Amino acid sequence: EVQLLESGGGLVQPGGSLRLSCAASGFTFSTYAMSWVRQAPGKGLEWVSSISGSGGTTYYADSVKGRFTISRDNSKNTLYLQMNSLRAEDTAVYYCAKGQTGSGWLVKWFDPWGQGTLVTVSS
């Protein structure tokens, strides 16, 4: 069974940093693209970032470009999201989601999703 378990969320002050982790199991992690998607309280889903299976290709939403960095350690089956210069509008539940393999992976679906970790940016 595929499992994704996020951790690292919490309360951080504006301008601060936080690193999220997503521990994966139940599939060949290095083969699949992975993504982060967030959901602000009471709002819809917003794609944040995606990374290829090898880690060599990354994509970011304009809202986080230059502040967030996605990475992965395939030896540890773990996905990361380093978040710097955090703003109040970054407050959200952050989900990691398993993508697909092969070419054109960015246009494909997310399945499954982790349970999410809450990040609150406030003074």
Partner 1 sequence: QSVLTQPPSVSGAPGQRVTISCTGSSSNIGAGYDVHWHQQLPGTAPKLLIYGNSNRPSGVPDRFSGSKSGTSASLAITGLQAEDEADYYCQSYDSGLSGVVFGGGTKLTVL
Residue ranges binding partner 1 (CB under 8 A) = 35, 37, 44-47, 50, 59-62, 95, 106-116
CB closer to partner 1, 56 vs 123: 56
CB closer to partner 1, 75 vs 109: 109
CB closer to partner 1, 62 vs 75: 62
Cα(77)–Cα(91) distance, rounded to whole angstroms? 26
Cα(50)–Cα(115) distance, rounded to whole angstroms? 18
- At its nearest, how many Å lie between partner 1 and the CB of residue 49? 9
Cβ(53)–Cβ(88) under 8 Å? no
- At its nearest, how many Å lie between partner 1 and the CB of residue 42? 11
Residue 45 Cα distances to 54, 56, 74, angstroms: 26, 25, 27
- At its nearest, how many Å lie between partner 1 and the CB of residue 52? 14
Which amino acid appears at position 56 of this protein?
G
